[in-house]
């Protein structure tokens, strides 16, 4: 069996997500039914029922790839490979380009596959660690410069970032690209929370558009709120990387689910409607958290992010996040995501892309009032 560490975050969700009554930590936006999705496009319901349940193209349905390419300014539909969620492209890309002994850099804390998959291949993984400046999470470009060297093969990024919500500015993005270009390093950016910037001025280009050795991963799961489709993709202008991914995909999933590919196309052709709806939910939830954290500023500290549906909250009363999350779950049936699943003590992750937040935050407050005040 491949030697890979258990995925702490996904283990946590597997164990508790479906039994907790309340949750304030999800990273996906509010989902919808197939019926609601099909209503977004005239004729889509009939077409869905006529979807052919044969194998589809390994690279992904050409019509879906055209719909995905509309998200990008430079990447063409032939430069996209559709995959199962975002997890599969992280796995395939890493196995496509890395060999044992290669050196890579990853923003830490991170969504664990960005670190554990390269480690399982035998790579040396260096962490570009988050810093907190006045309570605000930041990744300092000079820190990255210290880590980069002639052996660096890939810089793994996640922008907007899970779990901190941090997003690079355009200037920071350019600085990363220039640094990578100097050494011929591939920049792999997990962009699953892209297009959910809280204001348009925070948006930055996709790395696959901005850099010839840039690889972007996107997915239907997060900003679009459709994780049940299990449709994601990898986009890059670098053809050799795509070719290697295609060879590996024939060993993992061969092709995608035909009904899901069709439904993802409907969603993407109506993506502005879906994004507006989801951003509306985020904008409604953020003031609830702002009020909550202001009220309990002696217990928690957070920085409202510029983008995405998640943030990382510092516990000021204790640093045993795993114990705290366990008690909140046991006593109030509220799920929070402890920093321990990221190897980052004293923090927990919150989410604000779901409709349930007002009620579920109240349940969390009951716990706080009964135990911490």
Ligand X SMILES: Cc1ncc(COP(=O)(O)O)c(C=O)c1O
Please pick, from the candidates 103, 190, 195, 261, the single residue that binds ligand X as defined by CB under 6 A. 190
232 binds ligand X (CB under 6 A): yes
Please pick, from the candidates 81, 87, 108, 115, the single residue that binds ligand X as defined by CB under 6 A. 87
> Which of residues 12 and 111 has its CB atom nearest to ligand X in the complex?
111
> Which of residues 111 and 300 has its CB atom nearest to ligand X in the complex?
111
* Residue 190 CB, nearest approach to ligand X (Å): 5
227 binds ligand X (CB under 6 A): yes
Helix ranges (DSSP H) in the chain: 8-16, 34-38, 44-49, 62-69, 87-97, 113-121, 141-147, 170-183, 207-210, 239-252, 258-269, 271-295, 321-332, 357-371
Tokens standing for 232? 């994601």
77 binds ligand X (CB under 6 A): no
> Which of residues 104 and 219 has its CB atom nearest to ligand X in the complex?
219
Q: Do 309 and 27 meet the contact criterion of CB atoms below 8 Å apart?
A: yes
Tell me, by CB under 6 A, how many residues bind ligand X.
13
111 binds ligand X (CB under 6 A): yes
Which range touches ligand X (CB under 6 A), out of 42-50, 79-87, 134-142, 284-292? 79-87
Please pick, from the candidates 20, 24, 27, 266, the single residue that binds ligand X as defined by CB under 6 A. 27
195 binds ligand X (CB under 6 A): no
221 binds ligand X (CB under 6 A): yes
> Which of residues 27 and 256 has its CB atom nearest to ligand X in the complex?
27
Neighbours of 346 (CB within 10 A): 17
Give the Cα separation of 136 and 303 in Å (integer).
6
| Residues of this chain, 347-366, that bind ligand X according to CB under 6 A | none
Which range touches ligand X (CB under 6 A), out of 15-23, 81-89, 146-154, 317-325? 81-89
Give the Cα separation of 353 and 370 in Å (integer).
27
| CA angle centred on 364, ends 288 and 192, rounded to 5° | 65
* Residue 225 CB, nearest approach to ligand X (Å): 11
| CA angle centred on 372, ends 371 and 373, rounded to 5° | 110
Which range touches ligand X (CB under 6 A), out of 97-105, 135-143, 219-227, 292-300? 219-227
Please pick, from the candidates 152, 158, 164, 260, the single residue that binds ligand X as defined by CB under 6 A. 158
* Residue 117 CB, nearest approach to ligand X (Å): 11
3-state class of 217 per DSSP? Answer: strand
Distances (CA, A) of 243 to 64, 66, 150, 339: 19, 19, 25, 37
3-state class of 282 per DSSP? Answer: helix
Distances (CA, A) of 225 to 193, 248, 250, 278, 366: 10, 28, 27, 8, 28
305 binds ligand X (CB under 6 A): no
| Residues of this chain, 33-62, that bind ligand X according to CB under 6 A | none
| Max intra-chain CA distance, the chain | 59
Please pick, from the candidates 37, 86, 245, 279, the single residue that binds ligand X as defined by CB under 6 A. 86
Please pick, from the candidates 32, 192, 335, 336, the single residue that binds ligand X as defined by CB under 6 A. 192
Which range touches ligand X (CB under 6 A), out of 84-92, 179-187, 204-212, 326-334? 84-92
Residue nearest to ligand X (CB): 85
Q: Is 326 exposed, middle or buried (0-12, 13-18, 19+ CB in 10 A)?
A: middle
Phi, psi for 108 (deg, rounded to 5):
-130, 145
Q: Do 191 and 232 meet the contact criterion of CB atoms below 8 Å apart?
A: no
Write out the residues near ligand X by the rule CB under 6 A. 27, 85-87, 111, 158, 162, 190, 192, 219, 221, 227, 232
């Amino acid at each position: 069996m491949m030697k890979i560490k258990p995925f702490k975050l996904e283990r946590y969700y597997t164990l508790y997500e479906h039994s907790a009554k309340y949750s304030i930590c999800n990273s996906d936006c509010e989902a919808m039914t197939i019926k609601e999705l099909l209503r977004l496009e005239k004729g889509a319901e009939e077409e869905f029922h006529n979807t052919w349940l044969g194998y589809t193209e390994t690279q992904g349905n050409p019509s879906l790839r055209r719909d995905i390419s509309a998200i990008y300014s430079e990447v063409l539909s032939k430069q996209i490979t559709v995959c199962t969620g975002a997890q599969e492209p992280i796995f395939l890309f890493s196995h496509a380009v890395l060999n044992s002994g290669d050196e890579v850099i990853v923003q830490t804390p991170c969504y664990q596959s960005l670190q554990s998959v390269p480690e399982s291949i035998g790579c040396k993984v260096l962490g570009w660690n988050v810093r907190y400046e006045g309570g605000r999470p930041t990744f300092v470009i000079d820190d990255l410069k210290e880590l980069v060297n002639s052996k660096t093969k890939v810089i793994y990024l996640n922008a907007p970032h899970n779990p901190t919500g941090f997003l690079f500015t355009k200037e920071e993005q350019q600085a990363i690209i220039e640094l990578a270009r100097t050494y011929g390093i591939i920049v792999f950016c997990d962009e699953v929370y892209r297009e959910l910037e809280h204001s348009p001025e925070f948006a930055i280009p996709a790395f696959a558009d901005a850099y010839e050795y840039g690889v972007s991963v996107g997915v239907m799961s997060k900003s679009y709120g459709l994780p049940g489709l299990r449709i994601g993709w990898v986009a890059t202008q670098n053809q050799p990387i795509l070719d290697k991914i295609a060879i590996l995909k024939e060993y993992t999933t061969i092709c995608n689910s035909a009904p899901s590919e069709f439904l993802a196309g409907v969603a993407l052709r109506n993506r502005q409607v879906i994004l507006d709806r989801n951003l509306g939910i985020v904008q409604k939830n953020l003031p609830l958290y702002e009020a909550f954290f202001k009220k309990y500023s002696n217990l928690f500290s957070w920085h409202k992010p510029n983008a995405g549906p998640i943030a990382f909250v510092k516990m000021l009363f204790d640093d045993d996040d795993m114990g705290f999350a366990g008690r909140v779950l046991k006593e109030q049936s509220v799920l929070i995501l402890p920093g321990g699943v990221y190897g980052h003590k004293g923090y927990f992750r919150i989410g604000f892309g779901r409709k349930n937040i007002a009620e579920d935050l109240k349940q969390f407050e009951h716990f706080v009032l009964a135990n911490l005040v």
